[in-house]
């Protein structure tokens, strides 16, 4: 019985943590969708998610202490878990004059502070990834241009978002503007961005003597 009561008491806190972490995780996945696995392994991703969770968790603890509605801790946990991240991206008016002509509202732009922190973490994650991505692109430039072109064309047929005609037009423009390794670079970077880092890495590993 004691363990069950402990679980019930911890449940709302875990709900807040889970919702806040999912929101922050979604932003990372959206930004680094082509290299999700390595992005999540970066310590900066952990910092971004952790800071997000701590802010929302602090709001929940404050709400419990002030006994804000709803009084049910589970409902409050869901409300804060969803509303906390929204508040973090909003501008809060601390003092609003009754007459707008008298003066301006005193506001705290949480969105500005959060935006700066978000950009900082995003830049640090990108720097963590970029060296390996450059090395992979250098190796991809050694692949036969025909092989890269075939992979891009196959992507066009497999993708649900891009038609084969659209991809063929992209390849035609590359052939008209670039030659050799420069064209290979554009196709390799396209595959990395659209299909992912791991896909391009597997393609390189298929060749004898290649082990990125």
Cis before residue 93, ω within 30 degrees of 0? Answer: no
Residue 93: left if φ>0, alpha if ψ -120 to 50, beta else—which one?
beta
Predicted confidence at residue 1, as pLDDT, reads: 46
Q: Is the model's pLDDT at 35 over the cut of 50?
A: yes
What pLDDT digit, counting tens, does each position of 142-197 carry? Answer: 888 999 999 999 999 999 889 999 999 999 999 999 998 999 999 999 999 999 99
Is residue 77 within 8 A of residue 10, CB to CB? The reply is no
What is the pTM (predicted TM-score) of this model? 0.77
Residue 98 clears pLDDT 50, i.e. is over it: no
Structure confidence at residue 44 (pLDDT): 94
Residue 69's pLDDT is what? 75
Which residues does residue 109 pair with via DSSP β-bridges, in sequence order? 91
pLDDT at residue 209 greater than cutoff 50: no
Give the pLDDT band of residue 84 (cuts 50, 70, 90). confident
Q: Report the alpha-carbon distance of residue 143 to residue 203 in Å, rounded.
A: 9
User: Looking at the predicted structure, is the pLDDT value of residue 139 above 50?
Assistant: yes
- pLDDT at residue 113, as a whole number: 82
Count of other CB atoms within 10 angstroms of residue 153:
16
C-alpha 81/C-alpha 22 separation (Å) is: 10
Domain range annotation of the chain: 2-123, 141-205
Taking all residues of the chain, what is their mean pLDDT, rounded to a whole number? 85
Of 136, 131, 153, nearest in space to 196 by CA: 136
In this prediction, residue 99 carries a pLDDT of 47
Instruction: Report the interhelical angle of 110-140 vs 2-31 (nearest 10°).
Output: 60
Centre a 10 Å sphere on the Cβ of residue 59 and count the other Cβ atoms it contains.
Answer: 22
What single DSSP character describes residue 210? Answer: -
How many CB atoms sit inside 10 A of residue 120's CB?
13
Distance CA 32, CA 41 (A): 12
- How many other CB atoms sit within 10 Å of the CB of residue 77? 25
Phi, psi of 91 (to 5 degrees): -105, 120
Q: Model confidence at 72, in pLDDT bands (50, 70, 90)?
A: confident
Q: Could you tell me which of 69, 67, 114 has the C-alpha nearest to residue 87? A: 114
Least confident of 69-78, 126-135, 184-193: 69-78
Q: Among 54-58, 62-66, 90-94, 113-117, which stretch is predicted with the lowest mean pLDDT? A: 90-94
Q: Please write the tens of the pLDDT for every residue from 177-192.
A: 999 899 999 999 999 9
Three-state DSSP at 137 gives helix
């Amino acid at each position: 019985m004691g363990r069950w009561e402990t679980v019930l008491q911890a449940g709302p806190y875990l709900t807040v943590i889970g919702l806040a972490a999912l929101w922050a995780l979604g932003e990372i996945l959206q930004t680094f969708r082509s290299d999700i696995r390595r992005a999540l392994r970066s310590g900066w991703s952990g910092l971004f998610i952790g800071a997000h969770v701590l802010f929302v968790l602090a709001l929940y603890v404050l709400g419990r202490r002030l006994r804000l509605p709803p009084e049910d801790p589970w409902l409050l946990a869901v409300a804060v878990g969803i509303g906390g991240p929204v508040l973090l991206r909003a501008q809060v008016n601390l003092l609003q004059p009754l007459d707008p002509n008298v003066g301006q509202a005193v506001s705290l732009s949480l969105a500005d502070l959060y935006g700066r922190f978000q950009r900082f973490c995003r830049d640090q994650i990108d720097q963590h990834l970029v060296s390996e991505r450059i090395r992979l692109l250098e190796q991809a430039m050694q692949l036969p241009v025909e092989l890269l072109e075939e992979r891009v064309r196959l992507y066009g047929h497999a993708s649900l978002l891009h038609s084969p005609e659209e991809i063929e037009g992209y390849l035609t423009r590359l052939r008209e503007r670039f030659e050799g390794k420069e064209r290979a670079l554009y196709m390799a970077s396209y595959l990395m961005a659209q299909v992912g880092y791991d896909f391009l890495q597997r393609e390189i590993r298929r060749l004898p003597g290649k082990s990125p």
